[in-house]
Structure 1
Amino acid sequence: MRSTFNRPARRLAGVSVALAVIAAGAACSTESGEQTIGSGGGDEIAQNAAEALDSNFYGQGSYTEPPAEGPEAQRGARIAVVNSGVQSPTGTKQVEAAREVAGLLGWDLSVYDGKYEPAEYQEGIRQAISQKADVIWLYSIDCPLAETALAEAKRAGIPVVSQEAADCTDVDPEAESYFADTLAFSQGTFIDWARAMGESQATWLLAQLGEDADVIEVSVPELVVTNAIHEGFTAAMEEQCPACKVTEVKAQIADFGPALQEKIETALLRNPNANGMALSYDDLMTTGGSAAVMASGRNDSLAVVAGSGFPANVKLIRDGQGQDAGFAYDMGYETWAAADMINRLLAGEEQGESGVGIAVFDADNGLPPAGKAWSVDIEYKPVYKAMWGVS
């Protein structure tokens, strides 16, 4: 059975509106990592969060229709995808969608698997330079991790575009920018989008737990995206429930597996009154988080939210194996939007609004069929095909 924790807020069914990202706020932190945030408000907190879920996150969330006007397909372009790692569901789906859309646009597409190694990211970029690519398409590779090779691409006059990645200027405003363009989201920038993921997690937890929320947050500070998710989560908790308790547990990618499970189990032991948990993204759940919750014997008393709408996480929710909800995004739609960004760049036009946002799903709202990933209920492919003049 899935978790049966208290849900003080009534679930509402309604229509999605555009998401507004709450401004980041600093939380006081103790040496133990516990963050205690202000004074709060009663069942009104749960009710307000439930209404925010209904209007901003459930259903299609902040997704909108793609642009209807733009340049025709820029055929014959040599496009080099450098993917951070195809071992993950996100990486695999991005490559699948990129190949599909490149075939329609008439592009000569090459794909390099970065294997989650910065040295491989740089090698992939250098191979693209040697192959005289017209555009280098980075997926989930932040600029600081490949700055040397990106500088070489810039000197070679090859534009680099990014999908789910931060430019060097996003990390250090004084640094040099190496991205010709980066995919924009309904929330704004990539960082804004990631912060909204954290906000969505906080909002879901507060809709379940209200003023009694005592939450363990598992973060990954070493990544730009997960650090932004943490910022969004912390800001939303401070804004919506200042008195709620949040204990941060910092993880590293190197922890994934038994070490991560042990770290989360230890946090649960040290926080026996915790009734909620947020994990920055899907891999934290599938590489230790789920096992830790189940081993703790507290599956039925913990409200657990993670990401990202892929089949493995959907199965955990469906089977009641330590996860109850997650933020979700449609990698197919996102990758087609990134391809449109590149097509516009090749045509000398500016990027249009992508329509790509985020949503939240759980056992009672938007849970995909067994074995399927979450996908937005928007027919984006016919719109893009008509715009590009392809079929």
Structure 2
Amino acid sequence: MNAPLKLRRMTAAALTLAAAVTMFGFTDAANAAGKKIALVQINQEALFFTQMDEGARKAAKAAGADLAIFNSNNDPTAQNNAIETYIQQKVDAILVVAIDVNGIKPAITEAKKAGIPVVAIDAIVNGDNDVQVGVDNKKVGTDIGQYTADYIKKSLGGKAEVGVVGALNSFIQNLRLDGFKTGLASAPGAKIVATVDGQNVQDQAQTAAENLISGNPNVKVVYATGEPALIGLVAAVSAQGATDRVKIVGWDLSAQAIKGLDQGFVTAVVQQDPEGEGKAAVNAALKLLAKQPVEKNISVPVTIVTKANVAQYRAVFK
């Protein structure tokens, strides 16, 4: 929290870009008008986060509130500094998609002391945040792990070497990996033989996936824990001509993932509703400011997308 003055000034400058935006679902527009809400994001590379931003913008615009979005570029220190700057600027509410759910807690506590409500999105923060919006990443990870185990039992004779392209700096994606391991355990013949770190960056994920595939020629299934990992993995499998021997499961649809589903080497993708999460988070913040009742935990549903039900998503990812 004790950032150098130069960094504080740079952070403050980055935070001045605000868009007037908001909220469907919130009915007290008179009290919302002019409220200043800050969204502290993980990055702006993943479509998941930009769709979340769009949902937040729509919600803010509908209510007449002002929304500022800060891009942390995968840097937890930048997130902490951004929250501190927003506290100094006396915003009305802060939304955060935490990179480090433990490291972010002191900044959230400072916001609470300043009387600023905090809504955590996606990553579960067991701190002084007022509301949690998102999915149970570990549970859904278990669900996709169980799906993968069933696929291995039905289509691969019950045995398969499995690889993982993760983002080991992401608390959320590590939860997804932990859950996946639990679900996969229902196929005793399935074994995770390699885990590589894509660092939540598409190009790095592709390189890591290529190394995984070339270094483990007997791998039959690879799990990607997030959108950059999945896009990089799809590209790696295609580039190495391995679409006939490697099946992919993972998180977050994209045009590349849909193409893989159509071609048959992507088997299943967990699709969240990031726009819905953004709307729900802004809505919750405005209700808190209006002293209206708000659920402590707001769950946004997910869908496991396969070749059988992908059609409904095509228009979104053209």
* TM-score of the two chains, using structure 2 as the length reference: 0.78
Q: Give 5+ residue unaligned stretches, structure 2.
A: 1-24
Q: For the residues of structure 1 that align with 2:301 and 2:157, how far apart are their CA atoms? A: 26
Q: For the residues of structure 2 that align with 1:286 and 1:363, how far apart are their CA atoms? A: 17
The residue number in structure 2 matching 1:246 is 192
Q: For the residues of structure 2 that align with 1:201 and 1:354, how far apart are their CA atoms? A: 28
Q: Is the Cα contact below 8 Å between 1:251 and 1:260 reproduced in 2?
A: yes
Q: For the residues of structure 1 that align with 2:98 and 2:256, how far apart are their CA atoms? A: 20
Q: Is the Cα contact below 8 Å between 1:86 and 1:95 reproduced in 2?
A: no
Q: Is the Cα contact below 8 Å between 1:315 and 1:370 reproduced in 2?
A: no
The residue number in structure 2 matching 1:164 is 122
Q: Is the Cα contact below 8 Å between 1:79 and 1:133 reproduced in 2?
A: yes
Q: For the residues of structure 1 that align with 2:57 and 2:41, how far apart are their CA atoms? A: 12
Q: For the residues of structure 2 that align with 1:277 and 1:250, how far apart are their CA atoms? A: 11
Q: Structure 2 counterpart of 1:341, which letter? A: A
- Give the count of matched residue pairs: 291
Q: Which moved more, 1:203-212 or 1:134-143?
A: 203-212
Q: Does 1:182 align with 2:132?
A: yes
**How far off its partner does 1:264 sit?**
2.9
In the TM superposition, 1:56-75 aligns within 5 A as: 72-73=28-29, 74-75=31-32
Q: For the residues of structure 1 that align with 2:244 and 2:152, how far apart are their CA atoms? A: 15
Q: Is the Cα contact below 8 Å between 1:361 and 1:367 reproduced in 2?
A: no
Of the three residues 173, 180, 188, the one matched with 1:226 is: 173
Task: Give the secondary structure class of the aligned counterpart of 1:143.
Answer: coil
Q: Does 1:295 align with 2:230?
A: no
Q: Structure 2 counterpart of 1:283, which letter? A: P
Of the three residues 112, 123, 126, the one matched with 2:84 is: 126
Of the three residues 326, 348, 359, the one matched with 2:269 is: 326
**How far off its partner does 1:137 sit?**
0.7
Q: Give 5+ residue unaligned stretches, structure 1.
A: 1-68, 170-176, 375-391
Of the three residues 161, 177, 181, the one matched with 1:214 is: 161
Distance of aligned partners of 1:343 and 1:190 in 2 relative to their CA distance in 1, 3 Å threshold? farther
Q: Does 1:338 align with 2:281?
A: yes
Task: Give the secondary structure class of the aligned counterpart of 1:233.
Answer: helix
**How far off its partner does 1:271 sit?**
3.1
Q: For the residues of structure 1 that align with 2:238 and 2:137, how far apart are their CA atoms? A: 33
* The structure with more strand, counted as a fraction of residues: 2
% same residue: 23
Q: Structure 1 counterpart of 2:294, which letter? A: E
Q: For the residues of structure 2 that align with 1:85 and 1:337, how far apart are their CA atoms? A: 19
Q: Is the Cα contact below 8 Å between 1:94 and 1:335 reproduced in 2?
A: yes
In the TM superposition, 1:247-326 aligns within 5 A as: 247-253=193-199, 256-257=202-203, 260-287=205-232, 289-318=233-262, 320=263, 323-326=266-269
Q: Larger relative CO (CA 8 A, sep 6+): 1 or 2? A: 1
Distance of aligned partners of 1:262 and 1:84 in 2 relative to their CA distance in 1, 3 Å threshold? closer
Q: Is the Cα contact below 8 Å between 2:270 and 2:302 reproduced in 1?
A: yes
Distance of aligned partners of 1:136 and 1:243 in 2 relative to their CA distance in 1, 3 Å threshold? same
